[in-house]
Structure 1
Amino acid sequence: MRGHNNNNNHDRINSMLPDELLIEIFRHVDSKSSRDACALVCRRWQTLERLSRDTIRIGGSGSPDSLVNLIATRFVNVTNLFIDERVSGAHPFDQGRRGSVRHQPTWLRLHLMADGYEPYCLSDAGLAAVADGFTKLQKLTLIWCSNATNAGLTFVAQKCTSLKCLDLQGCYVGDQGLRAIGKYCKQLEVLNLRFCEGLTDIGLVGLAIGCEKSLKSLGVAACAKITDVSLEAVGSHCRVLETLSLDSEYVNNKGVIAVANGCPLLKNLNLQCIMVTDEALTAVGRLCVLLESLALHSFQRFSDKSLCAIGKGCKKLKSLMLSDCYFLSDKGLEAVAAGCPELSRLEINGCHNISTYGLETIGRSCMRLRELALLYCQKVGKEALYEVGKGCKYLQALHLVDCSVVGDDAICSIAIGCKNLKKLHIRRCYEVGSKGIIAIGDNCKYLTDLSIRFCDRVGDEALVAIGNGCPLLCHLNVSGCYQIGDTGITAIARGCPQLTYLDVSVLQNLGDMALAEVGEGCPLLKDIILSHCREITDFGLAHLVKRCKWLESCYMVYCPGVTAAGVATVISTCVNIKKVLIEKSKVSARTRRRAGSVISYLCVDL
């Protein structure tokens, strides 16, 4: 900050840059730790950095009401506030390296000590402080804040009239509070209601009427007292609605049809409603011509008739997810393939009547497909992926889980035809072996994410090909591929310097030599999982952490060669470490005192 000129030290920044420019610079500093460091330079920087903050995240337990009061007086330009009761509010700023009390700012440390760490939940008093202190608030997220009531939400509604996004997951607010939001927050665009058991149709109808000109996204899940009446109000008033996510046992065709009739701009529809039938989905296909994303979960009362209507009417459909829809077959998928040429994402999960033919039609017709996920599709064979490889040249992501018929030939077809592939996730596809993964390494030069979990036919030669051919690889998971050992991981270490995530758990043949190579060749590594690696010792860990200065998490349970000394080495060397998973018996008292907040235990007594 200071430069030398004519034997005098000059503050070049503070003397030349106005407040407005410094605030703008702070806003472009991405890392929270870097922004915290800026705030420690001088009083002026501390004040201006506080003014630049637009987002605050705090825990909703451990004196949150007092914390909100303190924060509101220091960060007056906050527009995004996130409060989660599942997270302790005792250390909201985490400015210290280990997050302990002695590393907190003085004002916060004294406050915490005065409170004696007595945990309690965010109350209406805290929401009143939110309303008074954050008048510029545009986004408010309250997760499981069970002590907040109608009164608190009304305070927020009356003071935070610029609110655009409200998430009330697990809050027990009632109809009065929600109606107040509708009355005062005329700019509200996004509302998420999940596990809000105190709400009824009265509250949601009131909000729909109040926010009829602004509401664009509505999510409702597990709200037993919200029925078709609410959706009819949404359909009647919320003409600009674009997104609806609905998980309910009490909504019938009537409500969905009302939304389809009244919301011509609907683009995203996510439904898990066991009472909805073909009648509602047919209306969606006929009326929602702008629909781009459709997700259907656990439907047992509709058939291919619904997908035929979607294929006929929703020509702009780009994303389709079908999960546990037992009565859908290849006929419905064929209709979508023929009618929705812009489809770019398809996920099929547990739809047991969809087979090879249905996916073949997708491969022939949906040339813009970029992501394909097949989960528990026992009837989808290699011919389906042949067609995808031939027709979908822009495919970038492929997910396969428990597809027992898919083998090496299918993966080779994808590798040869889809050279832009960036992500390949395969789990428990036991016919996939080294041949298919070698083809990926030889052809897919842009691969950044490879996960081949419990594919026990994949060996070292496959990872050698990946190391030689995929220099951009950032994420690798070979958990449970017991044929992989030092040779394969060494090839990755030498060929993939961008690697940030590595899971080698349950590799019985992996030793310290490979770990040392990873430390040498992958300096950007942030997360590593070594659990159940019997040959790994403290020696390998020491070599790993010596060069991997950015390491944030290390899981190493059930590694008999790792001792308390190895754990201490990881803790003391990795200044950015946030989580270490280890058996309790391997943590010394000194290590526990030094970094207890980052250590987690699994199977404590083993």
Structure 2
Amino acid sequence: MRGHDRINACLPDELVMEIFRRLDAKPSRDSCSLVCKRWLRLERVSRSTLRIGASGSPEHFVKLITRRFVNVRTVLVDERLSLPAQLGRRPSVESIRPLPKLRYAKAKGGSETGELETSYISDAGLTVLGEGFSKLEKLSLIWCNNVSSMGLVSVAQKCRLLKSLDLQGCYVGDPGIAAVGQCCKQLEDLNLRFCEGLSDTGVVELALGCGKSLKSLGVAACAKITDISLEAVGLHCTSLETLSLDLEYISNKGLLAVAKGCPLLKVLKLQCINVTDEALAAVGTCCLSLEMLAVCSLQKFTDKQLTELALLFCQKIGNNALLEVGRGCKFLQALHLVDCSSIGDEGICGIARGCQKLKKLHIRRCYEIGNKGIVAIGEHCKSLTDLSLRFCDRVGDEALVAIGQGCSLQHLNVSGCHQIGDAGIIAIARGCPQLIFLDVSVLQNLGDMAMTELGEGCPLLKEILLSHCHHITDVGITHLVKNCTLLESCHVDYCPGITAAGVATVVSSCPNIKKVLVEKGKEVSQRTKRRAGSVISYLCIDL
């Protein structure tokens, strides 16, 4: 009843705050905080995460938020958040921006110039932040160039409960990282990518201080970090589970120390040009919990219980390496190969024979891989459900026939494999009734017959990409959507045989359709636009 506040009279503060915590939608929390002064106060108390853009007048702004939000556990500061892009937009609950009156710089005469300030968060702001948020558990400082060791020391001394620290792109030095090691004994996750001011001295002190708790470490583009740092990591960070390294001066010595000292390692990502087979063999021998290994510019490797392997732009890795993987990694479930020009059918056959639990195989622009290797996959890897062969121009219908006979795929991407035609896709349609995703873009030999078979054999299909398939017409589309009524997304851009009538058929036959992509300039009937205007998207790039 008007004039009676039944909610506030009955609900205690703790219950209202718990309701706020369970509201995931930011606009909902915004709206609730405007109901009354009590709800505004309780919403501030219940807030645990703040996201701050680092431009404007952040020093003054940090003082304001530390007084208003006393239970914050996570602070995300991102220098990449540009202030002009945020103007005119209502801030969300977790996106706090400087107040309008703080956004303008004053000229020497005291009048406002109307130009945005160029100041960023600095050590003074970090000092205030550390003093105000002593219970902080996660701090992210992305490309905050004005932050130095002085501010980081202050945060480390005040925020001793810190568990996650992201310093990507910050020019912090050794004293700051050493202070983190000395004070933050619960630190688990640390990102030091592009921290160019660091050297071995800081990393060694960090490992000595909080190595026992550290579980994840990322370091990239730090020219002063050498094997000395990795030896300290191997000696003190015995609980490390994830390690990502992109360092020029790391050799076998450092990685050997990590392999021997970090037996719990599960994820290892390497882009270290000086690391050779000796170190990777040690990883395979010592890190028996390893689940994912991603390497760049390396040659051979060995591992026992590997479940996922990604080789990206590894020009020197050849068939012998994959043969060894096939012999030693019988638990492998996912393999990603991108631009590995020395890998061919022999290596893929080795994977097929030895890794028969393979579920996902993604290959892109590996031009030496052809029918023979993929046929072997179809014959041996019966658990395969996800196959991507993008721009592998030696793969043809023969390969897909074997896949259709041996595997029950759910996802298939053969975009750019110009030798594949109706016969290959028909084999998939007849052998893979569980198919839900299909990308056959740029297949010039594909026609309506394949669409008819897909409609009859794959009723669960939800997404299909037919871009630049010049021989598919309205007839094929009609047969496809007749039975594929679960279709949610259909790309028919640059398919000259599919007209406005074909687009209308897709829209009218598929009640769950959410997106139909056509090229800019494609004729679509006014009736279709009125019926499903929000569904139709236009590709605005002229190809």
Map of 1:162 onto structure 2: 161
SS in 1 for 2:326: helix
Give aligned pairs, total.
525
Map of 2:444 onto structure 1: 482
Choose which of 550, 553, 561 in structure 1 pairs with 2:522.
561
The 3 A distance-change label for structure 1 pair 477 and 114 is farther
SS in 2 for 1:372: strand
Shift of 1:168: 0.9
Map of 1:282 onto structure 2: none
Shift of 1:37: 8.1
Map of 1:84 onto structure 2: 78
Please say if residues 519 and 544 of structure 1, whose CA atoms lie closer than 8 Å, have aligned partners that are also in contact.
no
CA offsets 1:574-605 (integer angstroms, 9 cap, x no match) = 6xx9xx8854xxxxxxxxxxxxxxxxxx68xx
Instruction: State how 1:377-392 maps to structure 2 within 5 Å.
Output: 377-378=340-341, 380-382=343-345, 384-392=347-355
CA offsets 1:55-106 (integer angstroms, 9 cap, x no match) = 44454446666765666566554433333322335677xxxxxxx8365579
Please say if residues 533 and 559 of structure 1, whose CA atoms lie closer than 8 Å, have aligned partners that are also in contact.
no
Residues of 2 paired with 1:385 and 1:502: CA distance?
Answer: 27
Deviates more, 1:238-247 or 1:193-202: 238-247
Please say if residues 90 and 112 of structure 1, whose CA atoms lie closer than 8 Å, have aligned partners that are also in contact.
no
Map of 2:130 onto structure 1: 131
Please say if residues 39 and 47 of structure 1, whose CA atoms lie closer than 8 Å, have aligned partners that are also in contact.
no
CA offsets 1:299-333 (integer angstroms, 9 cap, x no match) = 45634x5555555555554444443225x4xxxx5
Instruction: State how 1:204-353 maps to structure 2 within 5 Å.
Output: 204-235=203-234, 237-252=236-251, 255-256=254-255, 259=258, 264-268=261-265, 292-297=266-271, 299=273, 302-303=276-277, 305-326=278-299, 328=300, 336=302, 340-349=303-312
Residues of 2 paired with 1:38 and 1:496: CA distance?
Answer: 43
2:453 corresponds to 1:453: no
2:99 corresponds to 1:101: no
Residues of 2 paired with 1:531 and 1:469: CA distance?
Answer: 28
Please say if residues 85 and 121 of structure 1, whose CA atoms lie closer than 8 Å, have aligned partners that are also in contact.
no
Residues of 2 paired with 1:431 and 1:380: CA distance?
Answer: 13
Please say if residues 145 and 171 of structure 1, whose CA atoms lie closer than 8 Å, have aligned partners that are also in contact.
yes
The 3 A distance-change label for structure 1 pair 293 and 183 is closer
Please say if residues 259 and 286 of structure 2, whose CA atoms lie closer than 8 Å, have aligned partners that are also in contact.
no
Shift of 1:163: 0.8
2:194 corresponds to 1:184: no
CA RMSD for the aligned pairs? 5.0
Supply the AA of the counterpart residue of 1:423. D
Please say if residues 532 and 559 of structure 1, whose CA atoms lie closer than 8 Å, have aligned partners that are also in contact.
no
Residues of 2 paired with 1:550 and 1:12: CA distance?
Answer: 44
2:334 corresponds to 1:371: yes
Map of 1:597 onto structure 2: none
The 3 A distance-change label for structure 1 pair 320 and 54 is same
The 3 A distance-change label for structure 1 pair 238 and 406 is closer
Residues of 2 paired with 1:63 and 1:506: CA distance?
Answer: 51
Residues of 2 paired with 1:416 and 1:372: CA distance?
Answer: 17
Residues of 2 paired with 1:429 and 1:560: CA distance?
Answer: 31
The 3 A distance-change label for structure 1 pair 252 and 418 is closer
Please say if residues 83 and 143 of structure 1, whose CA atoms lie closer than 8 Å, have aligned partners that are also in contact.
yes
The 3 A distance-change label for structure 1 pair 313 and 379 is same
Map of 2:373 onto structure 1: 410
Residues of 2 paired with 1:360 and 1:257: CA distance?
Answer: 24
Residues of 2 paired with 1:318 and 1:182: CA distance?
Answer: 28
SS in 2 for 1:204: helix
Residue segments in structure 2 that go unaligned for 5+ positions in a row: 105-114
Shift of 1:111: 3.7
The 3 A distance-change label for structure 1 pair 88 and 430 is same
Choose which of 396, 403, 416 in structure 2 pairs with 1:433.
396
CA offsets 1:202-251 (integer angstroms, 9 cap, x no match) = 43344333324433333221112333444454455545444443322234
Please say if residues 374 and 401 of structure 1, whose CA atoms lie closer than 8 Å, have aligned partners that are also in contact.
yes
Residues of 2 paired with 1:69 and 1:502: CA distance?
Answer: 52
Identity %: 40
Instruction: State how 1:43-58 maps to structure 2 within 5 Å.
Output: 54-58=48-52
Supply the AA of the counterpart residue of 1:458. I
CA offsets 1:455-494 (integer angstroms, 9 cap, x no match) = 1122355445555665655554333333346665687688
Residues of 1 paired with 2:389 and 2:6: CA distance?
Answer: 55
Residues of 2 paired with 1:549 and 1:348: CA distance?
Answer: 37
Deviates more, 1:430-439 or 1:20-29: 20-29
CA offsets 1:333-367 (integer angstroms, 9 cap, x no match) = 5xx3xxx4423223445556655455345435533
Instruction: State how 1:5-16 maps to structure 2 within 5 Å.
Output: none
CA offsets 1:492-542 (integer angstroms, 9 cap, x no match) = 68846573x6554444456678499599845655xx766655567778778
Residues of 1 paired with 2:96 and 2:340: CA distance?
Answer: 54
Deviates more, 1:83-92 or 1:103-112: 103-112
Residues of 2 paired with 1:365 and 1:257: CA distance?
Answer: 20
Please say if residues 196 and 223 of structure 2, whose CA atoms lie closer than 8 Å, have aligned partners that are also in contact.
yes
Residues of 2 paired with 1:109 and 1:168: CA distance?
Answer: 21
TM-score under structure 2 normalisation?
0.75
Shift of 1:185: 1.9
Supply the AA of the counterpart residue of 1:168. L
Shift of 1:454: 1.0
Residues of 2 paired with 1:518 and 1:153: CA distance?
Answer: 62
Residues of 2 paired with 1:247 and 1:554: CA distance?
Answer: 41
Residues of 1 paired with 2:225 and 2:129: CA distance?
Answer: 28
Supply the AA of the counterpart residue of 2:366. C
Choose which of 524, 534, 537 in structure 2 pairs with 1:573.
534
Residue segments in structure 1 that go unaligned for 5+ positions in a row: 1-6, 93-99, 269-291, 584-601
Map of 2:107 onto structure 1: none
2:390 corresponds to 1:393: no
